[in-house]
């Protein structure tokens, strides 16, 4: 599977080959190794300079107290030990943000995965033309830039001229000039709808590709043997779909936990406290209040909270690779 | 309908069930597409219809005024040009640098290969916004804030892991026998890369750069943080436009359409690669 030059010649491998061959092969593989590292070098340098080093800076920063003064003077910020972390962990506002982000993630991921799976299953059942229509609709939604999608939802839910209020009023509810973001539950319902709506295409299309791996004969056999559609789904389709389902769910968790664009744009770039998530909170602390160290500490905590999910995702990717 | 369905209907699938499935599918499609339609609908309406308490579901009067006024905004065209420059720089660099690393991972077995793969996979998951604080301070120190190069550098890092990963997949797909045949015919290793692998990776390079374009074009938070209003891209312009002028919905939606067109077109061209790249980019050792 590896580079062809380093593969020992099968005819020679079992017996001890002449030393000269061994030496040459070793030289070759050493040279290969050097060439490979040389080719990877630019990528590694960039990743170290622009990713590893900032990561290190962020961690150092979170143990300091950097404010606007240090930014302008360029002086080394004073050491603060665990102050920033203590500040965060003893602050009710911070815990509110953590709880809100987590709750949003659970709700939005559950909804979008269930709906995505439902749509994927539905697409197997419908007429070919309906399926094409569904695909086209989803493709456009998927292709739409996040910010444009958020802007369109802001317009749909506009209190004065938004079409949502108009339609609801026509249906007999009094929603004229109703503002959707006064009540946080309603506001979050809008944000969640936006995220789920935007997330369904990826999930439904990936899962429907995965569903083609489920052998039709197996499902038909099960039906002939008297299995209900539900039993066939639970005992045949879902187990086959499981690895893919795990990966798309994990990705959704990672994406939705980092929610920024949607609540940022829907709240005009100034989310009120009840609309803050970890990402916007860290950003606001750093760039809104010039509290760079506190923002860094929150970012570090966010990464730590996500670490488990990320490790799980990478392991899953490797696992699938080994299965292939 | 019935004629078409006869072949499709399998055991336990009633005609009523199929009817419900089709209806649900159509309703779902309509609900999904509605916000997109509403953006288009708004952009082509005159202001009197946009700011109306009884919205029209199809413009009574069709107009291009909103597009004119968006294009006429002071910073619209400059933002578009900035975006194109930044995106081109980031994508070109990511492609060159990423192709080399992809070659190494796909065609060599070497000590540390698994580690590099692990790093490439892991950094794609780092919430990039978390790094924005130190990146901002670094670029500020290097005098690269408020410059297109600084933003392009950050976007390069944003694109690089995905670029390496995708190109690796494309290169792995080229049969090794071709390399071997070329080498037997007297090609050197570099010649194999240049004359065999690079041309055959062509479609992969196109797909990867298009995806990179989409990523860089859609970004607005980083550029918004690093640069002043004169040096923004179109996405950031959309954000500025919303916060500072109240909202002129018609021109905003027209601007959103202009901004989205390249992305949507490119996306529809390469969508297959995006779907498989995210999930099935399995690690082949």
**Is the Cα dihedral A297, A298, A300, A301 positive or negative?**
positive
Residues A136 and A250 in one domain: yes
> Would residue A40 count as lying in a domain?
yes
Phi, psi values for residue A79, rounded to 5°: -70, 140
pLDDT-derived band at B207, boundaries 50, 70, 90: confident
Residues A119 and A47 in one domain: no
Distance from C-alpha of A20 to C-alpha of A22, rounded to nearest angstrom: 5
Measured in whole angstroms, how far is the alpha carbon of residue B49 from the centre of its chain? 33
Q: Which of B221, B125, B147 is nearest to A287 (CA)?
A: B221
The alpha-carbon radius of gyration of chain B (Å, integer) is 24
- Using the predicted structure, report yes or no on whether residue B183 has a pLDDT greater than 70: yes
- Choose among B108, B133, B281: nearest Cβ to A3: B108
Residues A32 and A102 in one domain: no
Helices (H), chain A: 19-47, 53-62, 68-73, 83-89, 92-125, 128-143, 146-156, 163-170, 184-211, 216-224, 229-232, 238-257, 261-266, 278-283, 292-323
> Would residue A275 count as lying in a domain?
yes
The greatest distance separating any two alpha carbons of chain B, rounded to the nearest whole angstrom, comes to 76
Distance from C-alpha of B42 to C-alpha of B59, rounded to nearest angstrom: 8
Contact criterion met (CB < 8 Å) for B239 and A134: no
Residuewise pLDDT in 10s, chain A (324 residues): 343 344 444 444 444 555 666 666 667 778 888 899 999 999 999 999 999 999 999 999 999 999 989 888 888 899 999 999 999 999 999 999 999 999 999 999 999 999 999 999 999 989 999 999 999 999 999 999 999 999 999 999 999 899 999 999 999 999 989 999 999 999 999 999 999 999 999 999 999 988 988 888 898 899 899 998 899 999 999 999 998 899 899 999 999 999 999 999 999 888 999 999 999 999 999 999 999 999 999 999 999 999 888 888 888 877 766 433
Structure tokens at B205: 């390079």
pLDDT of residue A9: 43
- Choose among A58, A126, A139: nearest Cβ to B134: A58
Question: What ipTM goes with this model?
Answer: 0.86
Residues A197 and A129 in one domain: yes
Kindly give, in sequence order, each residue whose CB lies less than 8 Å from that of residue B187, ignoring residues fewer than 6 positions away: B195, B196
pLDDT-derived band at B129, boundaries 50, 70, 90: confident
pTM of the model as a whole: 0.87
Contact of A287 with chain B, judged by CB distance below 8 Å, is answered with yes
Residues A177 and A270 in one domain: yes
Phi, psi values for residue A290, rounded to 5°: 55, 30
Contact of B191 with chain A, judged by CB distance below 8 Å, is answered with no
Residues A208 and A258 in one domain: yes
Structure tokens at A28: 């070759």
pLDDT of residue B125: 80
Give, in words, the CATH class of B69-279. mainly alpha
Which of B2, B10, B22, B25 is the mutation pick for testing A, counting most A CBs within 10 A?
B25
Range of the structural domain that residue A164 is part of: 98-323
Residues A14 and A115 in one domain: no
pLDDT-derived band at B119, boundaries 50, 70, 90: confident
> Would residue A76 count as lying in a domain?
no
Distance from C-alpha of A253 to C-alpha of A110, rounded to nearest angstrom: 9
pLDDT of residue A80: 93
Residues A137 and A282 in one domain: yes
The number of distinct structural domains making up chain A is 2
Average pLDDT of span B265-278: 70
- Using the predicted structure, report yes or no on whether residue B179 has a pLDDT greater than 60: yes
Burial class (CB in 10 A: 0-12, 13-18, 19+), A60: middle
Residues A177 and A304 in one domain: yes
| Domain ranges (residues) in chain B | 2-64, 69-279
Cα dist from A273 to A65, A282, A285, whole Å:
23, 12, 12
pLDDT-derived band at B157, boundaries 50, 70, 90: very high
pLDDT tens-digit series, residues B11-23: 456 788 899 999 9
Residues A58 and A132 in one domain: no
Contact of A301 with chain B, judged by CB distance below 8 Å, is answered with no
pLDDT tens-digit series, residues B224-251: 999 998 899 999 999 877 655 567 899 9
> Would residue A152 count as lying in a domain?
yes
pLDDT of residue B1: 39
pLDDT of residue A203: 96
> Would residue A93 count as lying in a domain?
no
Contact of B153 with chain A, judged by CB distance below 8 Å, is answered with yes
Residues A28 and A129 in one domain: no
pLDDT of residue B243: 55
Considering only residues 118 to 147 of chain A, which have any Cβ-Cβ distance to chain B shorter than 8 Å?
119, 122-123, 125-128, 130-131, 133-134, 136-147
pLDDT of residue A285: 95
Whether the CB-CB separation of A200 and B35 falls below 8 Å is answered with no
Angle B15-43/A184-211 helices, nearest 10 degrees? 120
Distance from C-alpha of A271 to C-alpha of A262, rounded to nearest angstrom: 10
Distance from C-alpha of B267 to C-alpha of B210, rounded to nearest angstrom: 8
Contact of B116 with chain A, judged by CB distance below 8 Å, is answered with yes
Q: Mean pLDDT check: name the lowest of A264-268, B91-95, B103-107, B123-127.
A: B123-127
Q: Which of A220, A163, A147, A150 is nearest to A192 (CA)?
A: A150
Residues A55 and A102 in one domain: no
Structure tokens at A47: 């990743």
Through-space distance between the first and last CA atoms of chain A, rounded to whole angstroms:
13
């Amino acid at each position: 599977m590896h580079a062809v030059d380093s593969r020992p010649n099968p005819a020679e491998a079992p017996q001890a080959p002449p030393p000269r061959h061994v030496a040459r092969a070793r030289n070759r593989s050493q040279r290969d190794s050097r060439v490979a590292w040389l080719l990877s070098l630019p990528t590694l340098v960039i990743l170290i300079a622009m990713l590893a080093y900032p990561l290190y800076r962020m961690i150092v920063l979170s143990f300091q107290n950097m404010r606007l003064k240090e930014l302008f003077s360029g002086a080394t910020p004073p050491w603060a030990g665990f102050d920033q972390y203590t500040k965060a962990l003893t602050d009710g506002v911070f815990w509110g943000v953590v709880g809100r982000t987590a709750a949003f993630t659970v709700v939005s991921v559950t909804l979008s995965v269930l709906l995505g799976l439902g749509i994927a299953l539905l697409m197997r059942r419908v007429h070919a033309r309906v399926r094409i229509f569904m695909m086209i609709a989803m493709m456009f939604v998927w292709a739409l830039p996040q910010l444009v999608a958020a802007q369109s939802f802001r317009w749909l839910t506009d209190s004065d001229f938004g079409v949502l209020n108009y339609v609801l009023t026509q249906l007999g509810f009094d929603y004229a000039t109703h503002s959707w973001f006064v009540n946080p539950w309603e506001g979050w319902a809008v944000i969640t709808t936006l995220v789920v709506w935007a997330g369904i295409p990826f999930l439904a299309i990936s899962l429907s590709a995965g569903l083609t791996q489920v052998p039709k004969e197996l499902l038909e056999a099960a039906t002939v043997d008297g299995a209900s559609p539900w039993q066939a789904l639970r005992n045949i389709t879902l187990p086959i779909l499981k690895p893919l389902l795990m990966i798309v769910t994990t990705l959704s968790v990672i994406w939705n936990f980092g929610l920024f664009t949607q609540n940022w744009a829907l709240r005009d770039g100034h989310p009120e406290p009840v609309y803050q998530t970890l990402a916007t909170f860290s950003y606001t602390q750093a760039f809104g209040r010039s509290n760079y160290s506190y923002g860094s500490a929150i970012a570090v905590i966010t990464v730590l909270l996500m670490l488990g999910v990320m490790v799980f995702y990478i392991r899953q990717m490797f696992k699938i690779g080994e299965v292939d | 309908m019935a004629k078409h369905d006869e072949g499709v209907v399998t055991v336990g699938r009633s005609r009523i069930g199929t009817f419900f499935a089709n209806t649900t599918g159509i309703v779902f499609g309509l609900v999904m597409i509605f916000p997109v339609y509403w953006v288009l609908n708004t952009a082509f309406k005159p202001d009197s219809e946009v700011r109306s308490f009884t919205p029209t579901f199809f413009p009574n009067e069709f107009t291009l005024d909103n597009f004119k006024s968006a294009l006429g905004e002071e910073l619209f065209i400059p933002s578009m040009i900035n975006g194109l420059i930044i995106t081109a720089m980031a994508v070109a660099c990511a492609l060159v640098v990423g192709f080399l690393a992809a070659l190494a991972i796909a065609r060599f077995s070497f000590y540390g290969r698994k580690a590099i793969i692990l790093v490439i996979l892991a950094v794609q998951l780092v919430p990039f916004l978390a790094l924005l604080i130190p990146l901002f301070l670094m670029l500020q120190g290097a005098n690269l804030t408020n410059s297109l190069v600084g933003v392009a550098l950050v976007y390069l890092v944003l694109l690089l892991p995905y670029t390496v990963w995708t190109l690796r997949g494309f290169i792995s797909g080229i049969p090794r026998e071709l390399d071997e045949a070329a080498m037997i015919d007297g090609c050197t290793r570099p010649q194999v890369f240049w004359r065999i692998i690079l041309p055959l990776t062509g479609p992969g390079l196109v797909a990867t750069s298009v995806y990179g374009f989409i990523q860089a074009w859609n970004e607005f938070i980083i550029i918004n943080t690093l640069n002043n209003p004169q040096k923004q891209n179109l996405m950031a312009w959309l954000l500025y436009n919303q916060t500072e002028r109240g909202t002129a919905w018609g021109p905003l939606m027209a601007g959103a359409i202009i901004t989205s067109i390249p992305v949507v077109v490119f996306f529809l061209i390469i969508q297959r690669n995006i779907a498989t790249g995210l999930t099935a980019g399995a690690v082949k050792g």
